[in-house]
Amino acid sequence: MSWTEEAERVRLRAAAMALDGGDKPDSKKDVFADLGSPVSPLRMRATPSSSSSSAGSAKSPALCNAAAVAAGGGARRSHSGELAAESSNPPRRPGHRRSGSVPLIFSGGGSSSSGAGGSGGGGGGSSTASSPLTNALPTGNICSSGRVAAAPRPRPRPDVLGSGTGHYGHGSIMRGGGGAMPAPPDSLQEVTRAGNEWYKKGRYGEALRHYDRALALCPDSAACRGNRAAALAGLGRLAEALRECEEAVRLDPASVRAHGRLASLCLRFGMVEKARRQLTLAGNVNGADPAEWQKLHEVESHLGKCMDARKTGDWKSALREADAAIANGADSSQLLLALRSEALLRLKKLEEADSTMTSLLKLDSTSLSSVSTKQLGMLADSYVHVVQAQVNMAFGRFDVAVAMSEKARLIDPGNAEVGMIVNSMKLVARARAQGNDLFKAGKFAEASIAYSEGLKYEPSNSVLYCNRAACWSNLGRWAKSAEDCNEALKIRPNYTKALLRRAASYEKLERWADCVRDYEVLRKALPSDAVVAESLFHAQVALKTTCGEDVSNMKFGGEVES
């Protein structure tokens, strides 16, 4: 650098120091004013910061600008936020230097090259570093005196107990938990998204657990109610699902999805009128699904035809129409299952009737008040209990039958048909109880009369026929016993007790061919029954004897060819 340039720099420095009031020692306030992160570069700040140095000390932008103006030259802003005078010489990179008695100071530059007169030659000073700080500073800043000012350490936060959210369980110790807690991961969106994933996989129980949490976060959300209803329906808890859908519609009357889901559930329960009302509301909002309207019309048509067939006693048609209505969507309708069970009972298909009634009892109970009483002659709830009573009576469950009929009368106390059914059930149960008491007392003739009295009120009761056949057997009237067994087996073809009693009557009547046929059926039904096996063997031997075959060498347990 020429002497003229060095003199110019001395004059600029003197002017700046005059404006600033001279060099001042570093204060702790000035040192920490620019501290950011201990391991990050200094932030670019507009606040003034001064440090005393014999050469190239950093001034505030305002002071540097003033010095430049005083010199009459242009100014430029450096990368560090300072204003430096323009120079034709290229900027020098900082390095190590000596300044009087001050020890060596690392100025923070990336690579260093000494300026003119690295040890105080020339004008007795060295050039100021003007290149930007591009590397990360060590912990603390370097003062002009050569001391490193340590950054203030953050105050330690106290340990707290975890609340059970995030990655910490309830009661877990969280280090430094005194600050702001992060947002818990179980937000409404995250919980709902997790529930949806489980629902897609068919894991409705897990989905319901997440939807319950979502509903707890937002109790007034119609969408949360609808999601919970879908999971409940998947679990078969249809009555609960129906209530959730009703609440969703109440919360958001303009929701097409809520109306549609409620309509679908109503249709499954056979509530045709209620389903139509919901589909109409959905259509008024944004148009209902045409497929749902089609299902509604199909169910309504088949249900009406089933009831018409019941009135005329066309039980085959009633069974066919009930099955069609169930297949078209009303799979959880107690009314349709009761109609189906009654038709099977009248068609002497007792096992299927009882199985259908078992399926009915597994359903969630819900109101059937939407079904017209004129079509059935009684309230729908009452009708379901009446059919239950009839099926139980057909299987000899007399006490249960009476209880079901009493429930029907409580539901529909003013209905004459229900009243007649209740009285008939009670009379049949009473006759059966009297007949049993007389039979135990050995009064077989009186017992047969009691059973006959019960058959007047319930002529299709297989149990009463079988019990009366037992009276005839004990009286030695084998033909009448076989006749009553035939009547019982017409009603219940798989009635094992009646089949045993008829085979014994045939044996007494020496109708060996009929006897062998009955015992062979019993042998298949009761493969482990030794009495049946022995009876079959003796009947086969007797049949061969009547046919003139030699059976002298035959023993029980061997093969007998009929």
Work out the percent of the chain whose per-residue pLDDT is above 90.
Answer: 48
List the domain boundaries for the chain: 1-132, 188-297, 469-562
| CA–CA separation, 77 and 54 (whole Å) | 22
Q: Write the DSSP string, 149-186.
A: EPPPPPPPPPPEEEES-TTS-EEEEETTTTSPPPPPS-
Over residues 418-440, the mean pLDDT reads 95
pLDDT of residue 445: 96
Q: Is the pLDDT of residue 60 over 70?
A: no
Domain covering 469-562, topology: 1.25.40
pLDDT of residue 377: 79
pLDDT of residue 125: 42
Backbone angles phi, psi at 410, to 5 degrees: -65, -35
- CA terminus-to-terminus distance, the chain: 136
Max Cα–Cα distance, the chain, nearest Å: 154
pLDDT band of residue 513 (cuts 50, 70, 90) is very high
Q: Write the DSSP string, 326-390.
A: HHTT-TT-HHHHHHHHHHHHHTT-HHHHHHHHHHHHHSPP---TTS-HHHHSS-HHHHHHHHHHH
CB environment 156-192: b (16+ within 10 A), e (fewer): eeeebebeeeeebeeeeebeebeeeeeeeeeebeebb
pLDDT of residue 164: 46
Over residues 210-220, the mean pLDDT reads 92
Model pLDDT for residues 386-404, shown as the tens digit of each residue: 999 999 999 999 999 999 9
pTM: 0.61
Contacts (Cβ under 8 Å, ≥6 apart) of 35 = 141, 151, 152
Q: How many CB atoms lie within 10 A of CB 487?
A: 19
Instruction: Report the CATH superfamily, name and number, of domain 188-297.
Output: Tetratricopeptide repeat domain (1.25.40.10)
Q: How many CB atoms lie within 10 A of CB 98?
A: 14
pLDDT band of residue 210 (cuts 50, 70, 90) is very high
Q: Is the pLDDT of residue 2 over 80?
A: no
DSSP category for residue 142: E
Q: Is the pLDDT of residue 335 over 60?
A: yes
Over residues 21-29, the mean pLDDT reads 40
- Of residues 266 and 175, more confidence is placed in 266
What's the whole-number average pLDDT of the chain?
74
pLDDT of residue 113: 38
pLDDT of residue 292: 85
pLDDT of residue 470: 96
Most confident of 59-63, 111-115, 337-341, 362-366: 337-341
Contacts (Cβ under 8 Å, ≥6 apart) of 288 = 256, 259, 260, 263, 279, 280, 282
Q: How many CB atoms lie within 10 A of CB 396?
A: 18
Q: Which of 378, 391, 412 is nearest to 307 (CA)?
A: 378
8 A C-beta contact, residue 264 and residue 389: no
8 A C-beta contact, residue 382 and residue 350: no
pLDDT band of residue 507 (cuts 50, 70, 90) is very high
CB environment 289-310: b (16+ within 10 A), e (fewer): eeebbebbebbbebbebbbebb
Tokens of 238: 């249809």
Over residues 446-471, the mean pLDDT reads 95
pLDDT band of residue 186 (cuts 50, 70, 90) is low
CA atoms in the 13 A half-sphere facing the CB of 24: 13
8 A C-beta contact, residue 54 and residue 61: no
